[in-house]
Structures are given as C-alpha cells and as structure tokens.
A and B are shown apart, each in its own frame.
Chain A
Amino acid sequence: MTEIVVGLGSCGIAAGARQVYETLQEELSERKLQIPLSATGCIGACHREPQIEVRLDDGSRFLYGELDPEKTRRVVEEHLIGGNPVEEYIIPLDYPYLAKQKKIVLANCGVINPESIEDYLAAEGYAALRKAVTSMSPEEVIEEIKTSGLRGRGGAGFPTGLKWSFARASKGNKKYMVCNADEGDPGAFMDRSLLESDPHAVLEGMAIGAYAIGADEGYIYVRAEYPLAIKRLELAIRQAEEGNLLGSHILESDFSFIIHVKEGAGAFVCGEETALMASIEGKRGMPSIRPPFPAERGLWGAPTNINNVETLGNIPPILRMGGPAYAGVGTERSKGTKVFALAGKIKHGGMIEVPMGITLREVIYEIGGGIQDDKKFKAVQLGGPSGGCIPERLLDVQVDYDSVTATGAIMGSGGMVVMDETTCMVDVARYFLSFTQSESCGKCTFCRMGTKRMLEILERITKGEGRMSDLDQLEELAVKVKLASLCGLGQTAPNPVLTTLKYFREEYVEHIENKRCPAKHCRDLLRFRVIEEACTGCTLCAKVCPTNAATGERKAVHRIDQHLCIKCGLCFDACRFNAIEIATGITA
C-alpha cells in the first residue's frame, strides 16, 4: 500500500517539517486521496530537512528533501497523482551520505513511527527481551553482551558486559537500572534523536539490562531541554506496560521491571554517574568519590547500573543477531558501530552511524561531503568539552576508542564538529573552557579555580594581551586540573586546551606576538575598514551600524570610526559590494 512518512524529529520540526506535514494533510483530504500519512523520527540527513518518504505499492521508495509547503504540493500533484517522481527534490538512496553508513542502533530511526508500539513490534521489537526472559539466564545474557565486545557509548568505553556482571554480583534485594540521557555536550544530539525516533529500543535495552543484573526499578534521566524525547518516552512506557513488556511479571515470567522518567534540571555535571544519582535523589548534582562504585552502592544506597542511551540501544540488536555476529563489525578492540552528530562547517551534517574503524577522512569527506563553501579544513573536534581537536594530518586515524585517545582527543559520546580556516583554535579552547568553567560544580579546588585561571589566560590571549609565558602556565595548570579533580568533568576539561596547544601552537603565538588572529575571529584583534575603491556610498553599513561608527554621505565613500566600532560585523554582513575588509595583526 502506498504511504507517506514525514520525518518529525526536533531537527525536522525546526526546519519546518510540521508545515510540510500539515500541507500533506490538507492536500490529501482536499484531493480525497486515501493515502496513509504518518510520522517518523530522524531520517538522519539533517542538512536536507524537512524530509518525507513516499513508499509505493511495488515496494519502491522515494526520499524527498528540503521541502516546503509549495514543493510538497508539487510532490502531491506530480508524483502521487501524476505518477512522476519530482526528480529535483529527490535524495537518491545511493547518496554517499546514506550509503557509507552502517545502521544497527539507528536501523529503525526514520523508518518506524516512534509513537506506535505496533511499528516497533513489526520491526522485531521486544523479540530480544522475549528471548532473554523466556530462554536465557541472566548470566547467559551478560555472557552474550561480553562476547559482543560492546563498550560504553557515553564516551569512556568501559565494557558493558563487565559492568553488568559487577552489578549482578552485588548483593542486595533492591537494585536499580539507570539510563543516562543527560546529553550535555554542546554539539551532540545523538541520544535525543534516538529517544525521539526509537524510544522502545532504549526501553527494551533497559529491561534486558535490568533482567541481567536483577533490578526491578529503573530511571531514565533525560534533559528537560528535550521535551519531545520526554513525551515519546512516556508514551512508549505506557504502551509497553499495556503490552506486558514492562511492569509486573513481564511476558508471564517472574521478572518485573518499572521505569520512571526523570527530567534533568540543567547541569552538565549530572552526566557524571555519581552526580546523576545525587540529582535523581533530589540533591545538588555533585559527584562523589568512587569507590564505592554505583554497582556496589548507588541510588539510595542500592546497587545501581548506569548505561548511556546509545549503549542500551545496542542491546536488543546484539541479542537478536548474537554476540559473535555483532563482534564481527568494527575493529579488534572496538566492536560494532558508533553514532555521531556531524555538525559545524560541514556540507552534509546530521546524525550518522558508522562502523568502528572507519577513518575520520571518510566520515568528513565521503559521508559529510567535505567542507562548506569548499573552504580549507582545519580541525575536527571530538568529544565536546572533554575532547580535543584533531588536525588535518591525523585525518586518517581510525575511529575507535584507542586510536582516538592516542591523538589526545576522546571518542566521547559522539559530537563531531568540523572546523575550517575561519575557526580560531584559541577561541575554540576558550569556548570549551568557559563552558566547563561555568559548569564545574565547585567541589574540587583545581576544577573550580584552575579552570577559572586557565580561562582568564585564554581570554587575555584572545584579546591580544597574552604573554609567551602564558603558554607554559596553561600547560602546567592543565596537568594539575586533570590530576586533582574527582570526576570526569575536571579530569578532561583541559583536553581542548592541550590538544589545540599541541596541534595549533602557532595560532597561540600569532595572537600573543603579532596580536593577530589568523582566522579573523577574535574581535579585539580585528579592524573593520572600508575599501575606498569598492564603496559605492549606498549607506547600508551606516544604517545597520548600531553605534554610528560607520558613517558617510549617500554616494560618497563611507568610513568606520575605530573608536566607536564594537566589531559586531553587521556592516560586513550587510555590504553588498565586498567593500568592508577585516584586518588583523600589528602590521595590517
């Protein structure tokens, strides 16, 4: 049967997918077309949102991208009624962005309706849970996960099967299974997309984990900034309870498990497991010393196991295909796939899933299609505020836990932000540090004060007030902050500084010695000037200038008063004749 599916993930909605959906509703009813219209989650090619998929009787599929109401009406008119696909809006299915990926975790994303448990069941949903509770012992489940080689996808890469075996071995009548969906890394949206697009997969993974460790109660700790994910999770939990897939005596077995959704309240540090537990308990989300590890003493003192969203999304496919088959994907020490949020100065950004072992170059140039406006690649940032920037010469590094760690970055949870020649690496370091500095909970002195001092140094450098001795001091502080912090936030906060110092030291030196920002980003080191020969005197720059720094008579060359200029760049953006230049450096 012919059907139409609209991608209604947050990205799609932001790009206008709801309007596309409403247009389809109107068109179908006005033209009396009996074609089922449904919603799905993230189709993945976020750079071409809003997207719809037309699935015909004969099994052929047509993916349309970058639609708006008008284009949508054309698709209805020409394709659904006329039978001729509108070639110019079609995203070919062999599009390298899609063809190079391997979808295990995201297999259902953009395919099924996330608000329909029937859709999930039809896609072998809950088959893995059924298999576990009806034919496997908890130990066998853990063994299967160990065989698969699955490692934690939250970033640290701890073997999941081993983690479960610790929680299993802990004594106690009450145990908890927690899903960490406090996706705080700026530039990362994998967990959000997975929760929005396939919430049942995460619930099923949690239930299997709970069965394996012997937990009867679970929490999903999800950011309050993800309202759609929360809504879909709550709906999915109700559906699963009605279907006896959650709740008491699941599938008529002795296994019972209930799940609560807990909304985070906006604290990055709560992604750290001990802080997360404190937050669930209703306290300030501050980390505590380990040991005791959560597997021994976690939530309300009971043994607790905490896994990341993507890790849990891997569990059902692993049980369905078997540990050995899963271990056949990936590299020697990093098995399976990894989901990344590919963003920044990239042509084709979006949510992608790739086999471990693929190189960064393949991801950026083949899947991502290269750099926006064909500018020059400068760095790729992995792991957000805990990670680092990897330069061009290391682009052939494989994506696996160990190879990425060897560069000084970390695999992280999956943020992959591409930077080009217009990105200032000193500013990137300053940016991440300002983030971790403001998110430091303040418990450890080095994290609280050390990051503050490091930030002050970086701010000084980006203002052109740095000294060469600052670089040594940054490195010294970085090591101390790493060593003297209790949790991952402080232990990794210096990474963006250390990697940029290691690979882009010359940019720091330029800022300090020549007061020059090579990327022309650091505003204090820039001067906006009118190129007299190019200026037509159109007065646009004077109109947009908020401080009246840009002035001039109509049809006469304008000028910018450097004392009044706040370097907002509005004149540069507004000028239609490329008559504003940006200069930087002592000699410029």
Chain B
Amino acid sequence: MKTGFEELLQQWKGQKGNVIPLLQKTQELRGYLDREDMTAIAAVTGKSPAEIYGVATFYAQFRFQPAGKHTLKVCHGTACHVNGAEGLDLAVKTELGIEPGQTTEDGQFSVEKVACLGCCSLAPVVMLDQEVHGRLTGDKLKKVVRKVGQ
C-alpha cells in the first residue's frame, strides 16, 4: 500500500530543504496529505509532526482531503477580476452548489479560487483539470462544466 511513498522518503532523506519537496511529491502521489504520511515525513526529516503540519498548512498548495474527480480553478487575477471573475463564482455556485474550497457531494468537482493563471489577455479564465478556458461568461462556464460532468 505504501509503495512509492517509502521510496520517496528514502530518496529525499538527508537532503537539505527536503520538507516541501516531500510534501509536494506525497500529494502528487496520493492527491492529498494525511496525518500518517505527515508523521512519516516528520520522522525522516527529523522534525516534529507539528512542525510538518505547520509548514503544510502555511502553503495554499497543500490539501488535507481528497479532491474531486475534476478540479475547477477560477482565476481571480486582476485582469480576470475586472473582467467579471466574480460572476463566474456565482455561476459555479448556482451550477454545482459549492463555494471555492469545497467539493461536490458526488465527488465530481472541486472548486478552487486561484490568484493568477497568467492568461490575462483571455480574461476571465478558468482552468478545468489541465485545460484553460478563456473569455468566459457565467453562461459559457456552466456549459463547460456540464460538458465535463456528463
């Protein structure tokens, strides 16, 4: 069950500055960080579990619950904001019934609010899984979400 993770621990053991890469790789492997894994990382890096948890919760990248099957990142960069990103949030809320940071009950979608995806000339944009969709309106976004959800 722990294959991959044990190797990860061994690979990074003793390297300076290994805490964050270990957390990142673990999350890549599992989709999120659980208590058991963080405790194991603490043991390997010579820190207390509290310190590891402190580091993990400081950074926005880390999650502590499994994500939905699809991840929708709604960009809230400045260009997206002035071009109507808040309207997209409302559209997501009415379509999926969840707010940023939540996952739908059926586990299909997680919604995140992100600072900037760097596609400002296509604002407002979202990233659905690995694909960026630009020049959206609330209505267009609903269609994008419905298509993937089918």
Q: Which residues of A contact B (CB under 8 A)?
A: 10-11, 13-15, 46-47, 49, 183-189, 192-193, 224-226, 262-263, 265-268, 279-286, 300, 341, 343-345, 349-350, 381, 384, 415, 417, 419, 423, 428, 431-432, 435, 441, 523, 544, 546-547, 566, 568-570, 573-574
For A570, what are the chain B residues with a Cβ–Cβ distance below 8 Å?
91, 138-139
Q: Are B24 and A282 in contact (CB under 8 A)?
A: no
**Chain A nearest Cβ from B90, distance in angstroms:** 4
Flag whether B39 is at the interface (Cβ < 8 A).
Answer: no
Q: Are A544 and B17 in contact (CB under 8 A)?
A: no
Flag whether B60 is at the interface (Cβ < 8 A).
Answer: yes
Q: Are B83 and A344 in contact (CB under 8 A)?
A: yes
For B82, what are the chain A residues with a Cβ–Cβ distance below 8 Å?
344-345, 417, 419, 423, 428
Chain B residues with a Cβ closer than 8 Å to the other chain, count = 44
Q: How many A-B residue pairs lie within 8 Å, measured between CB atoms? A: 146
Q: Are B76 and A186 in contact (CB under 8 A)?
A: yes
Q: Which residues of B contact A (CB under 8 A)?
A: 16-21, 23-24, 45, 54-55, 58-62, 76-79, 81-83, 86-87, 90-91, 94, 114-123, 125, 132, 134, 137-139
Query: Among B59, B83, B116, which residue has its beta carbon within 8 angstroms of that of A185?
Result: B116
How distant is the Cα of A280 from the Cα of B17 in the complex, in angstroms? 6
For A189, what are the chain B residues with a Cβ–Cβ distance below 8 Å?
116, 118-120
Q: Are A265 and B78 in contact (CB under 8 A)?
A: no
Known: A13-B132, A345-B82. A282 touches B115 (CB 8 A): no
Query: Among A49, A281, A574, which residue has its beta carbon within 8 angstroms of that of B17?
Result: A281
How distant is the Cα of A183 from the Cα of B115 in the complex, in angstroms? 11
Q: Are B90 and A566 in contact (CB under 8 A)?
A: yes
Q: Are B16 and A225 in contact (CB under 8 A)?
A: no
For A284, what are the chain B residues with a Cβ–Cβ distance below 8 Å?
54-55, 58
How distant is the Cα of A130 from the Cα of B135 in the complex, in angstroms? 45
Query: Among B54, B81, B118, B138, which residue has its beta carbon within 8 angstroms of that of A226?
Result: B118
Query: Among B21, B76, B137, which residue has its beta carbon within 8 angstroms of that of A573?
Result: B137
Q: Are B24 and A265 in contact (CB under 8 A)?
A: yes
Provide 9 A-B residue pairs closer than 8 Å at the C-beta atoms, listed in order of the A residue: A46-B120, A189-B120, A225-B118, A282-B55, A345-B83, A428-B81, A570-B91, A573-B138, A573-B139
How distant is the Cα of A14 from the Cα of B128 in the complex, in angstroms? 11
For B137, what are the chain A residues with a Cβ–Cβ distance below 8 Å?
573
**Chain B nearest Cβ from A562, distance in angstroms:** 17
For A187, what are the chain B residues with a Cβ–Cβ distance below 8 Å?
77-79, 116, 120
How distant is the Cα of A189 from the Cα of B119 in the complex, in angstroms? 8
**Chain B nearest Cβ from A38, distance in angstroms:** 23
For A192, what are the chain B residues with a Cβ–Cβ distance below 8 Å?
118
For B23, what are the chain A residues with a Cβ–Cβ distance below 8 Å?
265
Query: Among B78, B94, B123, B138, which residue has its beta carbon within 8 angstroms of that of A415?
Result: B78
**Residue in chain B with minimal CB distance to A566:** B90
Q: Are A569 and B138 in contact (CB under 8 A)?
A: yes
For A282, what are the chain B residues with a Cβ–Cβ distance below 8 Å?
17-20, 45, 55
For A441, what are the chain B residues with a Cβ–Cβ distance below 8 Å?
58
Q: Are A283 and B83 in contact (CB under 8 A)?
A: no
